[in-house]
Structure 1
């Protein structure tokens, strides 16, 4: 039987053996050639991606609290400026679409570092890797589900709004953790004259390539922005080629998200329609009786959570006058109930600021014409600085609260 080999001469002399190369993973991801997969490029792209995420997070908070305000804030939501929600939600969706381009360029720049081996080298490195995993997963989830929401396609079992809102906080937290962990490296590569950049002369030779990459990224962001933002920014409406909604296209010159057929509202449903107003002195009105009330005309935008918006002229009765006739005390809130058979926004709460605003109407006409069925006939709510899902259509009952 062969005897095992004895110690090598180097070992007998007290010399250490050569260090073995770390074992590589059996399944290696495909690589990309080029020198732009570096911290300098990642930092340059990250500046713009971070700014985009900040805008999306802040405007998303505005959207969420206008749609689903906490009980203590429901009566204090601002009704001015009347175009406020149109601006913030237009920014939210427009910048969110641009962030998709930025995110994929960022992932391209850091791609090799996502699969370093060994995957964990220390406690700090483990925390950094965990923050990156959470950040990448949550960020991809946010931008891609947001994009599908714009198209009103929901191929998942969970409710979009609360999930999107919750994951936004995960993204915000993981971004802050990632910045804290990577602060020294970010600081070293933040500007051209930084020490970190001068210490890496090989990267300087990639300066023209990096500028070309950033210019290409900027061109892609500009292209998707110009061809989608027209759904909320009227001057660019003729270039609105990729957005799912086009201002001015639809019944009575206004887009429609939820049709009467989808809501289960038919001619039979509205045949004997009466508006019911509850309160200390409840009453009911036919549409003809409502039309006999003083009619007020306002020009307000209809702004939807999907990012599209358009101005229109609305004619109808002031909500505060209907509430006053029911004997409601000043500062009363309102619950609005729709004729639609089912839906997340079939019942809508309206705080006192909206109830008392002279621009808040129970609208009977749109752009000088009687409301079409898809726009809420017999009557609908229109109020300033309010999400479109809360501009309730097919109103059946107003409950003074």
Structure 2
């Protein structure tokens, strides 16, 4: 038996390269990715910093409750407006960044080493966290929650995942970012990264800078457009351009938008009839007040904004009794906090605690009137809290009880 062996001209590779698409676009390069990436990083950093402020104002740890500042009165309005505006602006930046780098999904071999596998895993986490944060934030602005989990703690936790993944990505890509940070012309990709891409030669470089400027101008126009047509819900001078935001500061009862109506909160007119409703103040010297007795007390008028976590805000004139006067009558010590309870039967913010800085601020009121009119039921009739530099969810409506802690 004779064994015939065919001559070979080399070993056949164990892994054959699958048919991969070829990308002709010259802007899937490191320079374009770096330019868009640094703009996206700024937007993410602003979102993260202002998100921390919002979270710790809403849910401060025990050691922070009495240290939260009540001034400037417009502080939360600015930071949360920036949070919503930066998050909205980051959406077209993220889409542009993903368009720039998505050909890297088709490099071959897909995993070249353990280090490369870990790098790709970190990028997957970064992209997933960024997409989740931005689009869940947009749905929160619209007050639509098509998920079974609580938005606030999950959004906060994934924010930390996002910032950690971003820092890791920047550290890994630091040499490449530095090489293309100020470079005007596109450099060629490294051989491994260029696999599957058609990289232009010298004849293409003349047009490439123009193409990149055109792309960046289009991205900048998209960022400007989505920002201008939404930011008016918090930056009221642009309210007339507020075309896509779910809240318009002028379209509201008593000149102020409403997030949660009385019907949604389960508050009926029977619960707040003047003859039945009582404000109960618990403390060393507890007492109760009817609405008429509250109206007979010294009234103060202040101008303060309502600023909500969804990003909208507007200033209004509030009239009512200073909370510190109610606490003094109850014999509260100077450093006391208070707990405020609403007539709502359920809800994450039915019970709210207020640190001593807010409780003793002369601008903090148990408000009875809004813009010169008695509070409507949707705005918290018969009485609600209004305090400076506080998230709107903590400006408790339909107040039934104040408790000295």
Same fold, judged at TM 0.5 (above): yes
Alpha-carbon distance change, 207 to 2 in structure 1, aligned in 2, over 3 angstroms: farther
Deviation at 1:123, TM superposition (A): 2.4
C-alpha distance in 2, partners of 1:198/1:25? Answer: 21
C-alpha distance in 1, partners of 2:23/2:351? Answer: 53
C-alpha distance in 2, partners of 1:301/1:386? Answer: 9
Alpha-carbon distance change, 391 to 4 in structure 1, aligned in 2, over 3 angstroms: farther
Aligned to 1:283: 287
Aligned to 1:164: 155
Aligned to 1:256: 258
C-alpha distance in 1, partners of 2:147/2:17? Answer: 37
Aligned to 1:14: none
Alpha-carbon distance change, 358 to 4 in structure 1, aligned in 2, over 3 angstroms: farther
Deviation at 1:135, TM superposition (A): 0.2
* The one of 316, 330, 333 aligned to 1:326: 330
Alpha-carbon distance change, 31 to 299 in structure 1, aligned in 2, over 3 angstroms: farther
Aligned to 1:110: 101
C-alpha distance in 1, partners of 2:367/2:305? Answer: 13
Aligned to 1:212: 214
- Deviations, residues 219-276 of structure 1 (Å, cap 9, x unaligned): 0000000000000001100000000000021110110000000001111111210000
Deviation at 1:119, TM superposition (A): 2.1
**Pair 1:76-2:80 in alignment:** no
C-alpha distance in 2, partners of 1:256/1:234? Answer: 16
* The one of 13, 16, 25 aligned to 1:23: 16
Unaligned runs of 5+ in 1: 11-16
Alpha-carbon distance change, 25 to 305 in structure 1, aligned in 2, over 3 angstroms: farther
Unaligned runs of 5+ in 2: 191-200
| Preserved CA contact (<8 Å) 2:339 2:404 | yes
> Per the alignment, in what secondary structure is the counterpart of residue 227 of structure 2?
helix
| Preserved CA contact (<8 Å) 2:284 2:330 | yes
RMSD: 2.0
| Preserved CA contact (<8 Å) 2:184 2:209 | no
Aligned to 1:147: 138
- 1:299-378 alignment, distance < 5 Å: 299-378=303-382
Aligned to 1:136: 127
- Deviations, residues 114-160 of structure 1 (Å, cap 9, x unaligned): 33232211222122111100000000000010000000000000100
Alpha-carbon distance change, 81 to 204 in structure 1, aligned in 2, over 3 angstroms: farther
C-alpha distance in 2, partners of 1:214/1:55? Answer: 21
Aligned to 1:5: 5
Deviation at 1:31, TM superposition (A): 6.5
Deviation at 1:64, TM superposition (A): 0.3
Instruction: Compute the TM-score of the two structures, normalised by the length of structure 1.
Output: 0.94
* The one of 244, 247, 251 aligned to 1:245: 247
Aligned to 2:270: 268
Deviation at 1:19, TM superposition (A): 7.0
Alpha-carbon distance change, 198 to 149 in structure 1, aligned in 2, over 3 angstroms: closer
Instruction: Compute the TM-score of the two structures, normalised by the length of structure 2.
Output: 0.93
Deviation at 1:91, TM superposition (A): 0.3
Deviation at 1:6, TM superposition (A): 4.5
C-alpha distance in 1, partners of 2:130/2:189? Answer: 32
- Deviations, residues 282-316 of structure 1 (Å, cap 9, x unaligned): 00000110000000000000000000000000000
> Per the alignment, in what secondary structure is the counterpart of residue 317 of structure 2?
strand
* The one of 164, 174, 177 aligned to 2:165: 174
| Preserved CA contact (<8 Å) 2:185 2:205 | no
Deviation at 1:38, TM superposition (A): 1.0
C-alpha distance in 2, partners of 1:244/1:31? Answer: 42
C-alpha distance in 2, partners of 1:160/1:198? Answer: 40
C-alpha distance in 1, partners of 2:2/2:140? Answer: 71
Aligned to 1:85: 76
Q: How many residues align?
A: 392
Alpha-carbon distance change, 163 to 112 in structure 1, aligned in 2, over 3 angstroms: same
Deviation at 1:2, TM superposition (A): 8.4
C-alpha distance in 2, partners of 1:295/1:215? Answer: 54
